[in-house]
Every structure is written in structure tokens, then in C-alpha cells.
């Protein structure tokens, strides 16, 4: 692997953000991989994500909770937990840790 392709998902982690940090790592016609860093952010109360793509997400560091529309309880995620979200499955992030950055790896695909 050449040095120009080398990266580290834990480099340059901010300790506080006003908004989530979303960085695209790889993008191709049918797939996009993003690093998302959260520091206590959540989706607005009236916001539901409704994506055209499928999403697979894993929490690498920190903690978070995701709730699906129609469900009363969120799913709590800790490092190593991953979740598949089908296209148009409405969901929202209800909570992310504010004690340490939460690092997500998200894979969007068609």
C-alpha cells in the first residue's frame, strides 16, 4: 500500500464540535464510506433520516443510540456494535457520548 492511501480513523479527533464531522473516505458509483465523529450530537427532535441508500454503520469508539420510526426504544451502540439500515428505513440518532468522541464508520451502498 502506498503512503498516499494510508489513513487512520482515529487521527485528528476533535474533542468538541458544534456539528457532527462527516468525512468521505472512499466514494464510488455504488458505495460511499464515511468517518463520522460525534461529540454529544443527536438528530433534531423532528428529523428522521430517510435515505435512498442502504447503510451499514459500526461504532469504533464512544457510544450512541439509534431509534427507528415506530419503535419506542432506541438501540444502544458501544464499540464494535454494528447496525444495518435498509434504504428508506426511517431512523434518527437519539444520543451520542459527550464524554469522548464517538467515531462511526458508515458504509452506504445501493
Q: What is the pLDDT of residues 54-107, one digit of tens each?
A: 999 999 999 999 999 999 999 999 999 999 999 999 999 999 999 999 999 999
CB 34 within 8 A of CB 23: yes
Mean residue pLDDT of the chain comes to 95
Please tell me the pTM assigned to this model.
0.92
* Sheet-wide strand order for 102-109: 21-28, 31-38, 102-109, 54-61, 82-85
The full set of domains in the chain, from first to last, is 42-110 (2.60.120.10)
Helix (H), strand (E), coil (C) string for 56-84: EEEEEECCEEEEECCCCCCEEECCCCEEE
CA distance 47 to 77: 20
Burial 60-93 (b: 16+ CB within 10 A, else e): bbbbbbbbbeeeeebeebeeeeebebeeebebbb
Amino acid at each position: 500500500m502506498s503512503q498516499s492511501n494510508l489513513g487512520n480513523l482515529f487521527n485528528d479527533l476533535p474533542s468538541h464540535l458544534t456539528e457532527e464531522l462527516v468525512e468521505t473516505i472512499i466514494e464510488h458509483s455504488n458505495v460511499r464510506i464515511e468517518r463520522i465523529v460525534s461529540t454529544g450530537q443527536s438528530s433534531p427532535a423532528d428529523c428522521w433520516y430517510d435515505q435512498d441508500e442502504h447503510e451499514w454503520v459500526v461504532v469504533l469508539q464512544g457510544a450512541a443510540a439509534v431509534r427507528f420510526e415506530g419503535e419506542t426504544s432506541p438501540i444502544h451502540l458501544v464499540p464494535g456494535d454494528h447496525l444495518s439500515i435498509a434504504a428508506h428505513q426511517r431512523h434518527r440518532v437519539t444520543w451520542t457520548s459527550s464524554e469522548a468522541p464517538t467515531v462511526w464508520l458508515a458504509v452506504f451502498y445501493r
